[in-house]
Amino acid sequence: MTNTIINRIVYLMKVTAIIDDDLVNNVKTYSRSSTITEAITIALKDWLDMYKIKELNKSISKNPIIINNGKKIREMNRSL
């Protein structure tokens, strides 16, 4: 067995932003974060996830999948 070292490059951005204290404290409280950095990171990731879901919903609404008979799909799922 050999040992492998994987090199990673991590890019971090230090940001100075003027954000209302109440907003930051609420985000910190609701995210149950111990630091402001962690709270804002969680909030931004959640916002991006919601944005991506909204975009996916728009895409699906333009070309919806219509299932006329669910029996065939259920059988396919159960065979997996």
Does some domain include residue 53?
A: yes
14-43 pLDDT, tens digit per residue, is 889 999 999 999 999 999 999 999 999 999
Domain membership of residue 2 (yes or no) is no
- Domain assignment present for residue 24? The answer is yes
Burial of residue 68, with CB atoms counted within 10 A of its CB: 0-12 exposed, 13-18 middle, 19 or more buried: exposed
Q: What is the pLDDT of residue 44?
A: 96
Is the model's pTM score more than 0.75? no
Examine residue 79 and state whether it is found in any structural domain, yes or no: no
The total number of structural domains in the chain stands at 1
The pLDDT of residue 59 is 92
Average pLDDT, the chain: 89
Q: How far apart are CA 33 and CA 44, in angstroms?
A: 13
Q: Is the pLDDT of residue 4 over 80?
A: no
